Structure 1
């Protein structure tokens, strides 16, 4: 079974994270296949819109802890950041259809898309602190700029953000059928003034993401430092052993 499935709908592609038994946690294989799928979509001149969603009851719970590298700086720079760059700096339009829980890097994957549709029952969980890390994959930059100061406490201390809260500040659009709504939206976009949409995306990048490369460099260095701490090692060990971690602030 492919861990990433791609459905070809003419100018539209549906890219589905397909590890439902693991809540679409991004192990190395999934990250590799997702990056490949997005690169192939971007290289296809007949494509205009990609919808990213998750199989089963989750969008994605983020990085698969069992496959996290010992060098978090390189893990981010080589494995995660290229995916987000392919989406954010593509001239094409990406829509996330958040069908369930999104956590950690899964939140970032949903937010880095141009348009975001979410189930009314979706939840966005900033779970990094549970293993002794700070938010990564660009989440702090995106969530702080899109939601203002509203979510800073949960970025600082961790916690859950409801889809309703996200919708109240315009980050997501609530719907009973995220994928169905995304496909309707995709059809309209693919038949519209696409060069204007692409130009609008470039302007949004200039306004909001103008310093993202500098930010990601800083973020990856920070996470690399945390990856060498005793708390991170304890957090991962506790997660794999299914117990509460004993942090020491070390």
Structure 2
């Protein structure tokens, strides 16, 4: 890996975008490396959470336009922009630890995560129209689903940047931390998630995603028993271990299967 740093500890994979000299802008090489890193995470039985962050003062400033002009645009990886925005088949949680600027494709990468933990100095925006582009990496659709439509359209049409505090108020940011505390705050969220059964976490994420595609809550609940994630959870060792551990007044020993 030349454009990212991958670190795995205690079931958590941390992927750090590592092109600080260009604010971690994504070029073709980084596209491929992110695709590989996220695919490895998806396939690893002993990895349960993926944290994405950036080196230096930016999370990600979006696409490397200079590289695109010089080398020509190339097809995106199998799972879309940054190897994540179309990764609809991974039920494991992704957390964006946004340490600075998250613009354009960088904001789209963060929006593709399940949680966004932002440093107080972080800012977000979709400035693609300013360079004659459109936020086609899921930003238009995810933002419009994450916040009230008038707020989303305000960001999309004006190309304005939004602070971490405003992102929290609007609803697309999960939590805001002091700059020096971002890593610790993200670790705390990971620890809270890791207390639970990995199977239950995966089923919960998958069922939320399934339900968002249904007409209403009644339809979503009616579809639950037929969902593969529901079946996998229902038949899992973890589903049996949880009640037993509770009855025995002991800490569960999750198998993740």
Shorter-chain TM band: 0.7 to 0.9
1:4 aligned partner: 4
In the alignment, is the contact (CA less than 8 A) between 1:145 and 1:208 conserved in 2? no
3 and 45 in structure 1: CA distance in 2 versus 1, 3 angstrom threshold: same
> Any unmatched runs of 5+ in structure 2?
215-257
Residue of structure 2 in register with 1:145 after alignment = 145
RMSD of Structure 2 on Structure 1 (CA): 2.4
Between 28-37 and 73-82, report the one with greater CA deviation: 73-82
Q: Which residue of 2 aligns with 1:85?
A: 86
Following TM superposition, by how much is the alpha carbon of 1:187 offset from its aligned partner in structure 2, in angstroms?
2.3
Q: Which stretch shifts more, 184-193 or 76-85?
A: 76-85
How many residue pairs get matched? 210
Cα drift, residue 145 of structure 1? 0.8
Q: Does 1:29 align with 2:29?
A: yes
Structure 2 residue aligned with 1:236: none
Q: 1:166 is matched with which residue?
A: 167
Q: Please name the residue that 2:203 is paired with.
A: 199
Cα deviation, residue 198, structure 1: 1.2
Q: RCO greater where, 1 or 2, for CA within 8 Å and sep 6 or more? A: 1
List structure 1 runs of 4+ shifted beyond 4 angstroms.
69-79
In the alignment, does 2:156 pair up with 1:155? yes
Larger radius of gyration: 2
Deviation of 1:73 after TM superposition, in Å, equals 9.2
Task: Return the TM-score normalized by structure 1.
Answer: 0.76
Task: Determine if the alignment matches structure 1 residue 48 to structure 2 residue 48.
Answer: yes
State the distance in 2 between where 1:108 and 1:93 align.
Answer: 16
TM-score by length of 2: 0.75
Following TM superposition, by how much is the alpha carbon of 1:207 offset from its aligned partner in structure 2, in angstroms?
A: 3.4
Task: Report the Cα offset of residue 29 of structure 1.
Answer: 0.8
> What pairs up with 1:172-191 in 2 under 5 angstroms?
172=173, 173-176=175-178, 177-191=181-195
Superposed displacement of residue 81, structure 1:
6.8
C-alpha separation in 2, matches of 1:164 and 1:153: 17
Distance 1:207 1:157, change over 3 A: farther
Unaligned ranges ≥5, structure 1: 211-250
- Whether the 8 Å contact between 2:82 and 2:109 is mirrored in structure 1 is no
C-alpha distance in structure 2 between counterparts of 1:41 and 1:194, whole Å: 14
